[in-house]
Amino acid sequence: MSGILLMTDSTCDLPVEMVRRFDIRIVPTYVQFGQESLADDGVQLTRTDFYRRIVNAPIHPTTSAPPLGQTYTIMQQALNDADHVIALTAPAKLSGIYNIFRLVAEQTDPKRVTLLDSGMLSMGMGWLVIIAAEMAESGATPAEIVAAITALQPRADVWAALDTMLYLRRSGRVGWAASVVGNFLNIKPVIRQHDSVVTSITRVRTSQRMFNALVDLAHQNAPLDRLAVMHTANIENAQRLLAALADIHPNHEPVIVEVTPVIGVHVGPQGLGLGVIRAAS
């Protein structure tokens, strides 16, 4: 039996090799194409299939939190395999996932479950999960891990440059995006997700300018402890972005990840992003 296992939801965007390395338990969220509900688990709905389908979908897909029963099963198995479970979720202000985890923790063994609202999405949350898993492997206690992750949260950031505002507007999750109309849909927004809030940093008109905006943000926030380059069906530009940041040299090996469909519903294809943990000052 392990001492501590990490549990999270599929919005974390963690690469498969990291999930396997630390035996992280992931609860899939769901994407609905009309009456078809698909688990965001890389099996029922792959990233390739999703980004192909969303472009031609007659009705914009929607997302939903995982069901209680499935979350219960995964958490109970984690409790069977470990003395303690630390669960980090997507922000409660942006999703119902946290509340599902909270209800399940109360139904299983609340004294052995520590639940944290990460305040982050994608690799902003993913890096927090990995750091918690590294600490657990090194023998840290649940209290020590919670204190460390809480201290790290202000240093976590996600920046995303979207090819269009269309999908963010359709999702209805961000008030300022929902108000955008007409020709402004062709503007490419650069947004920040931090501390449970999505804000607009700038809006540009070309793909190169949105690329440059991300490069500038990374350099302005260096030095970095962790760096992930994220993309939505845009691998060539993701590789180009990582190469443009080679001079930053984060403390740990950077990764490239394709954003999971449940987030892709809101941002659409051809986007780029960065998920970082800034180095301690």
Give the tens place of pLDDT for each residue, 224-270: 999 999 999 999 999 999 999 999 988 899 999 999 999 999 999 99
Residue 263, classified by CB atoms within 10 Å of its CB into exposed (0-12), middle (13-18) or buried (19+), is: buried
CA–CA distance, 244 with 242 (Å, rounded to integer) = 5
Q: Which of 28, 22, 153 is nearest to 85 (CA)?
A: 22
> How is the chain split into domains, by residue range?
2-33+64-153, 155-278
Residue bearing tokens 């995303």: 160
Provide DSSP, 73-133. Answer: HHHHHHHHHEEEEEEEES-TTT-SHHHHHHHHHHHS-GGGEEEEE----HHHHHHHHHHHH
Give the tens place of pLDDT for each residue, 198-229: 998 988 989 999 999 999 999 999 999 999 99
Give the tens place of pLDDT for each residue, 83-131: 999 999 999 999 999 999 999 999 999 999 999 999 999 999 999 999 9
* Residue 274 identity: L
Whole-prediction pTM: 0.94
Q: Does domain 155-278 have CATH number 3.30.1180.10?
A: yes
Whether 2-33+64-153 and 155-278 share one fold: the answer is no
Q: Does domain 2-33+64-153 have CATH number 3.40.50.10170?
A: yes
CA–CA distance, 273 with 159 (Å, rounded to integer) = 5
Give the number of C-alpha atoms closer than 13 A to the C-alpha of residue 20, restricted to the C-beta side: 3
